[in-house]
Structure 1
Amino acid sequence: MASRVAPARAAPSQMPPMPNREDIGSTWGYLQAGITRIMMDLEQGIDMQMYMGVYTCVTLQTTASLVLRANRAHRAIHNFCTSQKAVSLSGPSMHGGAHRGAHLLGEELYRKLIHYLDEHLTSLLETSKSHTDEALLSFYIKEWSRYTTAAKYTHHLFRYLNRHWVKREIDEGKKHIYDVYTLHLVQWRKVLFERLSNKVMDAVLKLVEKQRHGETIEHSQIKQVVDSFVSLGLDETDPSKSTLDVYRFHFEKPFLEATKAFYQAESKQFVAENSVVEYLKKAEARLAEEEDRVGMYLHQDIAVHLKKTCNQALIADHQVLMRDEFQMLLDNEREDDMARMYNLLARIPDGLDPLRSRFETHVRKAGLNAVHKIQAAEGDKLEPKVYVDALLEVHTQYQGLVKRAFNDEPEFTRSLDSACKEFVNRNEVCKASSNKSPDLLAKYADVLLRKSSTSIEEADLEATLTNIMTVFKYIEDKDVFQKIYSRLLARRLVHANSSSDDAEMSMIGKLKEACGFEYTNKLQRMFQDMQTSKDLNRDFKDHLDNGERTKTVDSNFSILGTGFWPLQAPTTAFNPPSEIASEAERFSTFYKHKHDGRKLTWLWNLCKGELKASYFKNSKTGYTFQVSLYQMAILLLFNEKDENSYEEFVSATQLSPDVINQTLVYILKAKVLIMQGGPGEKPGPGKVFKLNYDFKNKKIRVNLNLGGGVKEAKQEEIETNKTIEEDRKLVLQSAIVRIMKARKKMKHMQLVSECINQIKSRFVPQVSDIKKCIEILLDKEYLERLEDDELGYLA
């Protein structure tokens, strides 16, 4: 059997002679041969150059032949278009009127080219019918590449026509006239694309679905199809511009519809067979895939619409199911799954609102439960530290959750703040008194800032004060905290009991940053008074050293401004010991000489001192008693005799019986004095007290000044509450006058609402209290009633 040998590629034929420049028929015949050669052979030659990288002798000959033919064809077009005697063989003009001339010559060639392209594309359309799916894609891509490459060469070949006839036609406003390259695209769209695009798109969608099912595909094919759809977006009104209309209608629209249908079906089936948590992972992975797909082979124009479509099918359609699972994730502290749910629902409008609401409810319950537990465990002996730590623990836990799972989103932070404000101000501890939270917080700060054997390190103290401010932020009645904190600070300063001036100033700085200058003005003035007092004591000691007296008392005086210190003058009369009285008189004389016109009021109840005692049988060195001035006055009576009666205490000190009884509590408890009588009896008239010569104590310095008892603390609380109420009335009246002075006239309810808005940062005013203050201002003639429930300001 004879073997068959593949024929070698035929050498390019000899170029025919140049046609008659006045004959359209011979000119077009010459051009058509060149165009056909470009259409059929150029792609093969370019493929070998671009993809094989090898230039064979045959390819070089073919390319040279094509270039030579193109140059000669260009000369033929030039000769024909410049001929004034050309014979028209194509009938009437495209724009009306059969006439001769250069204008008609260009039009003849243009119409011939259109007819040629129509025939060529119709032939391709017929051939495409034998291909389906991926084979059709390959055919489409191959022919598109061949066609557009040939269009570039043809465009160059017809450059004279483009530069003269086409440009003139477009300048004259003629419609449907394009440069030769654009004409190729227009004809491709009109003849082939509009009939074949649906089949091509079906093939693309099948390929994408395979990829979504995990199969590997040649995604470059889809990329080339997308590019071809984009290239066909020509603006009919302005050929120099392009649009994405073709791409959007023929590619983007069906792609989005197919994507929506695919994910709706898949997600519905997946949810039915798997848990919600697993679905969250699935949806997250699918969304990431689609984002990668855009970068891989889709046009960026589809990105927003594709994201919206996927969000609807994968998230919005299942949002109720996701939200119902959120509570379970909260209860089990599954942060990763909550973060996943947050990221998904954040992609749809209003997707996170129900989560925020449930989160707020959950945090509020957690805070209330935490307080309930410590209340049940501690009862009435609830320590400030235990209470504040319980509040902070809940806040810290869920603040971390907001940061890690909810991306520190402001709305979730607002939900956290709202929940914390609720359980800080309206928990079980606060039922007895609405002032309990600010009271315990202020007392916790007092414990931290007061000298003690368990003082913490400076860095830890600063961190703890910052934590206190976290709770302070949520307290509604900040004026209550201010009053209690101010009273406790005053005691620390007066008794020189602060652990650190730096720490005290740091806390005041934090309060000032949170509430402003007015809030901390009095606190800062207390520190100024203490510094002024130090300077004054130094001057007083210098004054005494220059004088002639025997120093019997080592004294230190504090001058406290009446308007800044929350301290009350004692309600009981008091006759201080002679040594103290004479020292106080010397200081009064010195102070009045230095500051003429000022009045000193002695706060004997806050004075303290030390007594050195050496009468004990079992101690050679004796003891030093740290005492209040009232205790000192009673103990100094025993310098004269070993035994004194209750009546002698009253006569010598002039103290009220209640104060004397309270003063004796710790003296008797420490057994410095012994009261005659049976066990369990209380001090009172008829009782006699003796020095205890057998007194023993492990410490050389014995503190008998351990503060007031429960009764005194209760009295202080009552006084503080009265002060708070009075201050609130003044603050409300001031706010009302300030508002009315600015507005002149205002509706009653509008005034109430505005007043609440201005005051709520300090405390939450009751509407009834505001109305009472309005009535007071009406009586004082700051305001007047007008018609229609309106109030007016009286200057």
Structure 2
Amino acid sequence: RARERERDGVVGRKRDASGQASRARSRAATTATTTALEPFRHRVDADPSFVETTLRTLRTATTELLNLSSEGLSYEELYGKAYALVLRKQGDALYNTISDAVTDHLCLHVASKIADVVGDVEFLKDLETRFARHRKSAQMLTDVFIYLDRVHLKRSGNANLEPVGDLVITLWRECVVNNPRIRRRMHSCMLDLIRRERDGESVDRDALQKVTSMLLTLHESVYVDEFEVKMLDETRSYYKAVAQKRIDIDDCPTFLRMAEARLAQEKDRSEAYMAPRTTSLLLEQARNQLLKEMSQSLLHNATSGMVHMLRANQIENLRRMYSLFSTMDDLEGIPDVMFNHLKEIGKSIVNDLENEKNPAQFVEELFKFKEKYDTILIEAFANNRLIESQCNQAYQLVANLNPRSPEYLSLYLDHMLRKSSKDASQSELEIILNRSMGLFHLFHEKDVFENYYRQHLSKRLLNKRSASDDNELAFIGKLKDDCGFTFTSRMEGMFNDMLTSGDLTREFEGVYSRGSGSMEVNVSVLTTGAWPLKVHKTPINLPHECERTCKVFENFYLSRHAGRKLTWQANMGRADIKARFASGEYEISASTLHMCVLMLFNTHETLTTKDISDLTGMIGDELKGCLQALSCVKGKNILTKLPAGKDVSLGDSFQVNRDFSSKTTKVKILSISAKRENDHERSLTKSKIVDDRKPQIEATIVRVMKAKKRLDHNSIVMEVTAQVRNRFMPTPADIKKHIETLIEREYIERDPSDRKMYVYLA
């Protein structure tokens, strides 16, 4: 207004007399703008006794509402009185009056009546019923004193003041629940009912549910302190006693069924009248006492424990055990028991002398062993990773306990893939091949298996003894998928040689048949590096008919492949010979070496061992085995040995057995040679395998160092082991030895500043 007057004064000085009327109107407007109306104020005379009278009235009304006696009460009038007290800043007095009224009502009337109720269930029902009435009255009090809650509590700034409804409920907890008589009785009644129900009695679950709901309504901490903690302690004591009693009289399956039933009951009990948060805690306490504390007694029970279940193949009991223990840390030792049991069973299989004598039986036992416990793992233990890991470790341990396991598996497959094995159908053979691959996966020294399998495969291919090339190639494909191309490259090369040899033989037959002679010949040309052949340093002297045919074939082959060299391996061949005896004419199927010996008797009546050696070029065990096969096998003794006996010496003499006879016209002579290696041959094979590993380890070390440039010793060991483990498992000592060799050959060197580090030399 001052600025307006100043502006008006400035304007008035600048205007002439004709602006006087305008300034007058401006002052009139200014006067109207600055006029303000104030509210009518009058003095209110307060009744000195109004506050005290109103508080007394509201206290009485509060007591009536707590008793749900609202007849004759006007909610508008009570609300107005509370409103008036708050306006007069008597909110604290009103709040304290309400608190005192509720406290007196609960402590003097309600608590004593509840405590005097006779009967446990009746006591709990009365407690809950009165609480329900109290909650209803709390709602009515909230409606009456809503202005106190909305205005006074906010203005007071006292965070400890609760709304009236919450105050009424809090006072119930302090005056009723915390009443010593009620509290002790409430605890004992609830726990006693739960204990009776656990003992098989039928109890009033509804009463328990309502009381626990009351405690939750008061606050979760009240529920925990007044019920949950004590109930869990009681559960611990109860099931500890049950477990100790039953473990002495029940066997393991019976105890587990009892535990399963008890846990199901506890879960049902918790869901019926406890808070959701209690279920897991309750089950944990029951499990701890029934299972965890008794786990060693259950698992290691000599007559009915886990080992007994495994031996008896009790899938249902094992499934129940796993289900009960699955929620506990480390399954309470189940994986360890499984590992130790598998190790024990596996050792018994490996150490069985009958299995040692029969490789096929040994492998079949391992198949059954693994199949049985794989089934248990799936059906009883739900393929639990921890148990599966322990099973695989046990399988590996068992499979590698016998160093001859790779050889036995190869012998087993050799038997199953031969033409003579007619027991297995194609589908069964596929199952056998898959089982064999499962066992092969477990071997640490896969290259040992490769060595034996190549030897047996070569004999099947050369002697035309393989039942199906498709089956052979299928298994080689499985090996290739598991170990890579280099593992099976030589096996595939063997098949390629046989295919090429077939085409070459057919082409030669066309040329040879036009030449001379009627001898039928089938030649296999083998690549030296692909076939595991023992090359004869001294050649075998073949009969003249065979020598002539060999010369013709050699000229034929070299004319098509100049620069190559053929070395004849008579020990790997077979021959069919026609022989006439007094009993009739027979067709003798024998090895080429047998044929060389028999053909000598076309021109000699009697020959000594030394004579035969000089004429054929055979020496040592090879010659002895050949002569034993022709003279010492009953029913196939084409030659007669003097003196009689199985042992062959240089002075023994041989002649044709003119009394020879056979029920069949075709006689098959088998070589006298063990399918399994003797100790000397095994040591030679092992030495050869070790020699083959050396360049592989060294090449891997160089490859790793070339990629990494600089590595410490432990890292080299880890890298090399990871790269060659699909063929064999090198020891750290072997790797260290080859590292030293490479340092001497200047492929790598030690770091001068850190002797633990190695550096690649380009």
* TM-score, with length taken from structure 2: 0.78
Tell me whether 1:211 sits opposite 2:176 in the alignment.
no
**Distance change in 2, residues 1:664/1:300 (3 Å):** same
2:685 paired residue among 713, 720, 727: 720
**Distance change in 2, residues 1:252/1:658 (3 Å):** closer
**Distance change in 2, residues 1:719/1:183 (3 Å):** same
Q: Report the residue type matching 1:425 in the other structure.
A: N
Extract unaligned runs of 5+ from structure 1: 1-22, 43-65, 96-106, 234-243
Q: Report the residue type matching 1:146 in the other structure.
A: R
Residue 437 of structure 1 is matched in structure 2 by: 405
2:452 paired residue among 458, 462, 484: 484
- The answer to whether the 8 A contact 2:106-2:172 is kept is yes
Residue 352 of structure 1 is matched in structure 2 by: 332
Q: In percent, how many aligned pairs have the same letter?
A: 26
1:667 paired residue among 630, 633, 656: 630
- The answer to whether the 8 A contact 1:77-1:160 is kept is no
Residue 188 of structure 2 is matched in structure 1 by: 202
Residue 425 of structure 2 is matched in structure 1 by: 457
Q: Distance in 2 between matches of 1:40 and 1:222?
A: 25
**Distance change in 2, residues 1:587/1:181 (3 Å):** farther
Q: Distance in 2 between matches of 1:534 and 1:651?
A: 34
Residue 574 of structure 1 is matched in structure 2 by: 540
Q: Report the residue type matching 1:388 in the other structure.
A: V
- The answer to whether the 8 A contact 1:315-1:348 is kept is no
- The answer to whether the 8 A contact 1:732-1:770 is kept is yes
Q: Distance in 1 between matches of 2:609 and 2:294?
A: 83
Q: Secondary structure at the match of 1:697?
A: coil
1:777 paired residue among 733, 739, 742: 742
Residue 9 of structure 1 is matched in structure 2 by: none
Report matched runs for 1:151-162 at 5 Å: 151-152=138-139, 157=143, 161=147
- The answer to whether the 8 A contact 1:675-1:687 is kept is no
Q: Report the residue type matching 2:332 in the other structure.
A: L
Shift of 1:128: 1.9
Q: Secondary structure at the match of 1:40?
A: coil
Shift of 1:246: 2.8
**Partner deviation per Cα, 1:391-431 (whole Å, 9 max, x = no partner):** 444445555555565554443444444444444433xxx4x
2:475 paired residue among 507, 510, 517: 507
Report matched runs for 1:7-86 at 5 Å: 36=64, 40=68, 73=75
1:136 paired residue among 102, 123, 130: 123
Q: Report the residue type matching 2:343 in the other structure.
A: R
Residue 759 of structure 2 is matched in structure 1 by: 792
Residue 358 of structure 2 is matched in structure 1 by: 383
Report matched runs for 1:211-290 at 5 Å: 211-233=197-219, 244-271=220-247, 280-290=256-266
Shift of 1:727: 1.4
Q: Report the residue type matching 1:574 in the other structure.
A: I
Shift of 1:577: 4.3
Q: Distance in 1 between matches of 2:491 and 2:89?
A: 102
Q: Distance in 2 between matches of 1:259 and 1:90?
A: 56
- The answer to whether the 8 A contact 1:35-1:154 is kept is no
**Distance change in 2, residues 1:520/1:291 (3 Å):** farther
**Partner deviation per Cα, 1:156-185 (whole Å, 9 max, x = no partner):** x559749xx628965997635666654543
Q: Distance in 2 between matches of 1:516 and 1:167?
A: 84
Q: Report the residue type matching 1:297 in the other structure.
A: Y
**Partner deviation per Cα, 1:339-373 (whole Å, 9 max, x = no partner):** 665555555445623x544543444333333444x
Q: Report the residue type matching 2:470 in the other structure.
A: D
Q: Report the residue type matching 1:352 in the other structure.
A: E
**Number of paired residues?**
702
* TM-score, with length taken from structure 1: 0.75
Q: Distance in 1 between matches of 2:268 and 2:447?
A: 57
Tell me whether 1:703 sits opposite 2:668 in the alignment.
yes
Shift of 1:442: 1.5
Shift of 1:207: 1.4
Q: Distance in 2 between matches of 1:172 and 1:556?
A: 115
**Distance change in 2, residues 1:557/1:161 (3 Å):** farther
Q: Distance in 2 between matches of 1:251 and 1:560?
A: 87
- The answer to whether the 8 A contact 2:63-2:105 is kept is no
Deviates more, 1:479-488 or 1:270-279: 270-279
Report matched runs for 1:503-582 at 5 Å: 503-538=471-506, 540=508, 544=511, 548-549=514-515, 552-582=518-548
Tell me whether 1:121 sits opposite 2:106 in the alignment.
yes
Report matched runs for 1:591-670 at 5 Å: 591-592=557-558, 598-613=564-579, 615-619=580-584, 622-636=585-599, 653-656=616-619, 659-669=622-632
Shift of 1:216: 0.9
Shift of 1:634: 4.2
Shift of 1:218: 0.6
Shift of 1:252: 1.5
Q: Distance in 2 between matches of 1:274 and 1:455?
A: 48
- The answer to whether the 8 A contact 1:736-1:774 is kept is yes
Residue 192 of structure 1 is matched in structure 2 by: 176
Q: Secondary structure at the match of 2:301?
A: helix
Shift of 1:690: 5.1
**Distance change in 2, residues 1:115/1:273 (3 Å):** same
Shift of 1:229: 1.8
Give the superposed CA RMSD.
4.4
Q: Name the larger-Rg structure.
A: 2
Q: Secondary structure at the match of 1:723?
A: helix
Q: Report the residue type matching 1:792 in the other structure.
A: V
Shift of 1:557: 3.4
**Distance change in 2, residues 1:181/1:661 (3 Å):** same
**Distance change in 2, residues 1:170/1:578 (3 Å):** farther
Shift of 1:743: 4.5
**Partner deviation per Cα, 1:306-365 (whole Å, 9 max, x = no partner):** 223223333344445445525763358464666665555555445623x54454344433
Residue 729 of structure 1 is matched in structure 2 by: 694
**Distance change in 2, residues 1:646/1:306 (3 Å):** closer
Q: Report the residue type matching 2:410 in the other structure.
A: A
- The answer to whether the 8 A contact 2:349-2:362 is kept is no
**Partner deviation per Cα, 1:101-124 (whole Å, 9 max, x = no partner):** xxxxxx96x776656544543432
Residue 411 of structure 1 is matched in structure 2 by: 386
Q: Distance in 2 between matches of 1:477 and 1:167?
A: 87
Q: Secondary structure at the match of 2:215?
A: helix
Q: Secondary structure at the match of 2:68?
A: helix
Shift of 1:655: 4.7
Q: Secondary structure at the match of 2:521?
A: coil
Shift of 1:138: 0.9
Q: Distance in 1 between matches of 2:152 and 2:569?
A: 107
Q: Report the residue type matching 1:777 in the other structure.
A: L
Q: Distance in 2 between matches of 1:87 and 1:718?
A: 112
**Distance change in 2, residues 1:559/1:285 (3 Å):** same
Shift of 1:723: 1.9
Q: Distance in 2 between matches of 1:477 and 1:681?
A: 38
Q: Secondary structure at the match of 1:451?
A: coil
